[in-house]
Structure 1
Amino acid sequence: MSGHAPDLTALEARIGHRFADQDMLALALTHISAVKGAGPRVRSYQRLEFLGDHVLGSVVSHMLYATFPNAEEGELSRRLAELVREEACAEVAQDMGLGDHLRLGPGESQSGARQRRAILADVAEAVVAAVYLDGGYTAASGVVERFWRSRLEAPRRPLRDPKTVLQEWAQGRGLPPPAYRDVARTGPDHAPSFRVAVELPGLAAAEADGNSKQAAQKAAASAFLAREGVVTESGA
């Protein structure tokens, strides 16, 4: 295709899909600020972003279903939300190198839009849609697999707050809510360390440290769960 800079070909290689219609990729990279004339939303990535959101959700849902055969619906939903949230999509956009190829109006370009998380997340979804429209579901699945698989297998943050998991575990055994007790506070005022114990009737307490009381409570709950052999991420 003529009329486009060669760097889109390099970007195609990074994404993992050679476009039959490279205009589709160019559209996925076009912010509304770069469009002049009538109907700017239609000629920016916004429609593609709408489609890509659903294509991504479908592909990731299938990946989760196949990867975690013992996971229940609630856990699959939590994992899906983690993988398609704005921060995760923006990270993928950075991995793809999309920021350098964004088509922006002068104002947006000067305001740091190339590094703006919301824009990067939208463009990542738009690229998924562009691949889907250009090469079909199989092509889109391949790109999602390439960039989301490692995130799926090793979530960047805990899927559930350990305090919530421990409370539900206790409730399921007819026990009262866990009690958190401050054990010690050490260190200087600018960098304190807190030690907290979590207690449940009839069971040994678990203690842990943290740089805040909340962090220490979470660490104590995690220690308690680990000791009792509670699996918080079924199928992981």
Structure 2
Amino acid sequence: MTPSAEILAFMGRLGHDFARPEFLVRALTHGSIASATRPDNQRLEFLGDRVLGLVMAEALFHADTQASEGQLAPRYNALVKGETCAALARQIGLGEVLKLGRSEMLSGGRRKEALLADGMEAVIAAVYLDAGFETARRVVLNLWRDRLDTIEDDPRDPKTALQEWAQANGMKPPAYEQTGRGGPDHAPVFHITVRLDNGETAAAQGSGTKRSIEQAAARTLLERLEGRE
């Protein structure tokens, strides 16, 4: 097949020229527009997740030969989580070339974090199927290079860190409550409050995913608690 101009431009941003562009087209096809003759990207997402995982695990293993498993695991999780995949998808304009059904487009699908993360994993699988593991590894490392170079020694997400703080202080895990919602349907603004057993609370709001707003609330509360220690 002859790729469109927008697909060719995306290949350039991705850093791989597909010999079989049909792999890429499938990777960009969401279930909302799929059909019997036009399969969606879910199987590729499954494969891409594993390819990404191996590349990141190998890179971390060789980058710090003295790190323990307990140190490597949170770094790995920070690099392969959905938020990271979605951020890199935005960086290369993946949302602009996603193939979506009308209802998904109208609901802001090109900006949805889950769709971008899934699409990023599917694209990685497409590169792997088109050119093999070494090429997929090169593409992934090029995209993730800055994050690999700046990964923190303890990059636990704030929700995990707050839960560990609560458990260390004899409390139940933090409770998160959606206390409000505003904005248009395609870009909702969530209001989230986190609460601990001892009555401590913190709130955050924003137009990201509910999980990202929960992370922001957890970060605010954790910084306050750690500031008292």
What's the TM-score, normalizing by structure 2?
A: 0.69
Which whole-Å CA distance do the structure 2 matches of 1:157 and 1:163 have between them? Answer: 19
Which whole-Å CA distance do the structure 2 matches of 1:151 and 1:10 have between them? Answer: 24
Give the match for residue 32 of structure 1: 31
Deviations 1:10-52 (A, max 9, x none): 111110111000111111100011113x386xx1110000000
The reply on whether 1:95 has 2:95 as its aligned counterpart is no
Which whole-Å CA distance do the structure 1 matches of 2:6 and 2:225 have between them? Answer: 50
Letter in 2 for 1:216: R
Which whole-Å CA distance do the structure 2 matches of 1:84 and 1:220 have between them? Answer: 32
Give the match for residue 131 of structure 2: 135
Tell me if structure 1 keeps the 8 A contact 2:75–2:152: no
Change (3 A) 1:30 1:215: same
Give the match for residue 86 of structure 1: 82
Task: Count matched residues.
Answer: 175
Which whole-Å CA distance do the structure 2 matches of 1:213 and 1:29 have between them? Answer: 38
Give 1:153 deviation, angstroms: 2.0
**What are the within-5 Å matches in structure 2 for residues 46-195 of structure 1?**
46-155=42-151, 159-160=155-156, 161=161
Tell me if structure 2 keeps the 8 A contact 1:79–1:159: yes
The counterpart of 1:217, out of the listed 191, 209, 225, is: 225
Give the match for residue 206 of structure 1: none
Give 1:219 deviation, angstroms: 4.1
CA RMSD of aligned residues (A): 2.6
Give 1:77 deviation, angstroms: 1.1
Change (3 A) 1:106 1:147: same
What's the TM-score, normalizing by structure 1?
A: 0.67
Which whole-Å CA distance do the structure 1 matches of 2:14 and 2:220 have between them? Answer: 41
Q: Secondary structure at the match of 2:47?
A: helix
Tell me if structure 2 keeps the 8 A contact 1:55–1:129: yes
Runs of at least 4 residues off by over 3 Å: 155-158, 160-165, 211-214
Letter in 1 for 2:24: L
Tell me if structure 1 keeps the 8 A contact 2:162–2:222: no
Structure 2: gaps of 5 or more residues: 170-218
Which whole-Å CA distance do the structure 1 matches of 2:80 and 2:220 have between them? Answer: 30
Q: Secondary structure at the match of 2:59?
A: helix
Give the match for residue 22 of structure 1: 21
Which whole-Å CA distance do the structure 1 matches of 2:85 and 2:115 have between them? Answer: 10
Structure 1: gaps of 5 or more residues: 169-176, 178-210, 222-236
Tell me if structure 1 keeps the 8 A contact 2:18–2:127: yes
Deviations 1:116-172 (A, max 9, x none): 00010000000000000101111101111011121122238952449969x99xxxx
Change (3 A) 1:110 1:74: same
**What are the within-5 Å matches in structure 2 for residues 219-234 of structure 1?**
219=227
Change (3 A) 1:153 1:7: same
Deviations 1:155-201 (A, max 9, x none): 38952449969x99xxxxxxxx8xxxxxxxxxxxxxxxxxxxxxxxx
